[in-house]
Structure 1
């Protein structure tokens, strides 16, 4: 996948019998996903224009260019969709695209390396950083201002003040 693209949504399956898909948007304003088209598959082999339909639980019904049958729509289930970064809005200083956080080195407030961000998770209660610790497995770190006071994208690092006992 091109590094100048950001994951903005995923196909959750077919919707109806005429080739529409269930589209889950990862955007702060979910309906904005259509404005970021064309959307690309992760492997850069397919691109889609998007026309949103009705809001449905956990997303939208949507029509993607080139998808005309239920079988074609169902075959896309699980496909993550990416938008060109230049089509996305600029963010305020205290907000970040998940793609920009993955791979950053995580340091504690004393400068000791804790690990690298391997994923950004969100199960509804806020973002959580998955930190890959060298030789120790992974740990989860709440992505809050109290726990992660500094994100320095230019330097490629995050300064964290993890809760007591998290790294044992």
Structure 2
């Protein structure tokens, strides 16, 4: 399960910010400014690498300087580029916390052992994390609250989640 070469997306460039090559960066780290701690960041294919220097927080992100980007045109050309770090550079988490990337693809079973589906994505719309579950018996994806009540067990070693979903969330 643990692949030290696995890349984890920690941010995305939202476009140029100013005229001297700064970019607006969306940070996906729990503490947005901690993204600087993971330097250097690379593109997904590894073709480019950047050191990120935070200038200041701005609306919807951070104003940052990327090493080797010196003009507005270069910054504009990077709009939409996602930035990654190798998995082994991320800190270890306490037992009750998980990286979203580790949850995606896990099979979800109910407390009786019936397979409910697979985690397609992890979302957060402000009120807590939701696991987007999809599977063969589901007409549409189901959003399962990622709380201790609804998801009592996450077993990364076995690649499975045991869920106790609220009544009526999954079809009988």
- Structure 1 and Structure 2 fold alike (TM over 0.5): yes
Is contact 1:36-1:84 (8 Å) kept? Answer: no
The CA deviation at 1:163 is 1.0
C-alpha distance after superposition, 1:14-70 (max 9, x if no partner): 110111111111111211101101112223322211111111112210011222211
The one of 17, 22, 27 equivalent to 2:24 is 22
Which runs of at least 4 in structure 1 moved beyond 4 Å after TM superposition? none
The one of 136, 151, 155 equivalent to 2:154 is 151
TM-score (norm 1): 0.93
User: Using the alignment, how far apart are the partners of 2:10 and 2:40 within structure 1?
Assistant: 11
TM-score (norm 2): 0.91
Structure 2 unaligned blocks of 5 or more: none
Is contact 2:18-2:72 (8 Å) kept? Answer: yes
Structure with greater proportional strand content: 1
CA RMSD of aligned residues (A): 1.5
